[in-house]
């Protein structure tokens, strides 16, 4: 359905969960895919596992909180492939502790990876997308960016920032044919969610009108759509993929 055979795609947080499934989806659609992970071991493991599935990808592990390191990595990728067409900012960390039990350092770390890194990767790729007369930047938001959550204030705060970043950058880059959108997943069956006991999962499902938890494929498919020409007139949007969930 989607053909990305001429596209170079960079996906941060691509070694597990939604990011890994998104790597698989774009690779199966023909793209040249470069995944970013937090450390060499996780990147190597992901690349090996993908290779065993017949999917050849490349991987890097820059410190996303260091602009110079991010910029050098992007330069290396462009030097090798000539261009970057799609950037998917998926790396991030969550939080659940109350404000009393959240340290200042923990809050800063959440903002650094969930917001600052978004700026650093986007800033690094934009000049190349402008030179290439267009591109797509997609960000991972969350349903809590719309509804908030009862504790772990740093996470929804960071995702509110992701939404503002997405909408503002979309307006700035639209004249250069660079589209910027975000996907806001609801409760999704990542490894962490899949390991939760049934007595915790069943009440969550009852809050979702579609009657199920989202699959990682559901989120990956949203990224595919927004990156494709089928979404060529969509920018500055936060696409909720949550089964119409409400907090």
CB atoms within 10 A of CB 38: 18
Angle at 238 between CA 236 and CA 243, to 5 degrees: 155
Active site residues per annotation? 155
What's the CA gap between 19 and 13, in Å, rounded?
A: 5
pLDDT tens per residue across span 157-213: 999 999 999 999 999 999 999 999 999 999 999 876 776 678 878 888 898 999 999
**What is the tens place of the pLDDT at every residue in 53-104?**
999 999 999 999 999 999 999 999 999 999 999 999 999 998 888 999 999 9
* Residue 233 pLDDT class (50, 70, 90 cuts): very high
pLDDT tens-digit profile of 21-63?
999 999 999 999 999 999 999 999 999 999 999 999 999 999 9
Look at residue 156 and give its three-state secondary structure. helix
Q: Are 120 and 67 in contact, with CB atoms under 8 Å apart?
A: yes
- Return the structure tokens found at 171: 């307006």
Q: Are 31 and 53 in contact (CB under 8 A)?
A: no
Q: What is the pLDDT of residue 246?
A: 63
Whether 244 has a pLDDT exceeding 90, the answer reads: no
All structural domains of the chain: 8-188+215-241 (3.40.50.720)
109 burial via Cβ count (<10 Å: 0-12, 13-18, 19+):
middle
Residue 78 contacts residue 95 (beta carbons within 8 Å): no
User: Which of 135, 124, 131 lies closest to 85 in space, CA to CA?
Assistant: 135
- Between CA 113 and CA 116 the distance in angstroms is 6
């Amino acid at each position: 359905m989607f053909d990305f055979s001429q596209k170079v795609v960079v996906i941060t947080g691509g070694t597990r969960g939604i990011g890994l499934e998104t790597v698989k989806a774009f690779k199966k659609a023909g793209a040249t895919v470069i995944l970013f992970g937090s450390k060499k071991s996780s990147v190597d493991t992901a690349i090996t596992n993908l290779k065993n599935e017949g999917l050849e990808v490349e991987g890097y592990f820059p410190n996303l909180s260091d602009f110079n390191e991010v910029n050098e990595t992007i330069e290396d990728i462009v030097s090798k492939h000539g261009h970057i067409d799609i950037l998917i900012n998926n790396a991030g960390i969550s939080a659940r502790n109350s404000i009393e039990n959240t340290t200042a350092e923990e809050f800063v770390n959440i903002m650094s990876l969930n917001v600052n890194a978004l700026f650093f990767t986007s800033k690094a790729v934009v000049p190349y997308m402008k030179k290439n007369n267009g591109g797509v930047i997609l960000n991972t938001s969350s349903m809590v960016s719309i509804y908030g959550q009862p504790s772990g204030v740093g996470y929804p705060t960071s995702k509110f920032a992701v939404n503002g970043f997405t909408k503002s950058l979309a307006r700035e880059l639209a004249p250069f044919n660079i589209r910027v959108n975000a996907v806001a997943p609801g409760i999704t069956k990542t490894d962490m969610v899949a390991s939760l006991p049934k007595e915790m999962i069943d009440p969550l499902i009852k809050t979702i009108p579609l009657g199920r938890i989202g699959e990682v494929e559901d989120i990956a498919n949203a990224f595919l759509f927004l990156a494709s020409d089928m979404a060529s007139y969509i920018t500055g949007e936060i696409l909720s993929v949550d089964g119409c969930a409400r907090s």
